[in-house]
């Protein structure tokens, strides 16, 4: 459990756990539905990382995921951006 990893003495009520579980379930359902909608628009039969990354890059509500689900970048372009200070460079 996420909570126990942070503080082994932390007490969390069952109601709080249920609320967080439901919120997580709803979030994942909406996120995958948005990505699935993108895959249907592209007439693809499978949902892939590219669809998830597209949703993160285009939907403002998913901005907080941009570090975890970045769009695919070709290695040469990524190195160029990094060296110019664009991605994690400085």
Per-residue burial over 30-57, b = 16 or more CB atoms within 10 Å of its CB, e = otherwise: ebeebbbebbeeeeeeeeeeebbbbbbe
| pLDDT one-digit tens code per residue, 11-50 | 888 898 899 999 999 999 999 999 999 999 999 999 999 9
**What is residue 89's predicted lDDT score, i.e. its pLDDT?**
45
Instruction: Answer with the residue of higher pLDDT: 81 or 15.
Output: 15
| pLDDT one-digit tens code per residue, 53-65 | 999 999 999 999 9
Question: Would you say residue 77 has pLDDT above 80?
Answer: no
Confidence of residue 80 (pLDDT cuts 50, 70, 90): confident
Structure tokens at 38: 């993108």
Domains of the chain: 2-83 (1.10.20.10)
């Amino acid at each position: 459990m996420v909570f126990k990893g942070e503080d082994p003495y932390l007490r969390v009520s069952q109601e709080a756990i249920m609320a967080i579980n439901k919120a997580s379930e709803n979030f994942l359902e909406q996120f995958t539905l948005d990505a699935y909608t993108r895959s249907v628009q592209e007439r693809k039969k499978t949902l892939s990382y590219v669809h998830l990354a597209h949703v993160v890059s285009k939907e403002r509500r998913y901005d907080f995921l941009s570090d975890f689900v970045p769009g695919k970048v070709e290695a040469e372009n990524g190195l160029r951006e990094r060296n110019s200070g664009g991605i994690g460079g400085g």
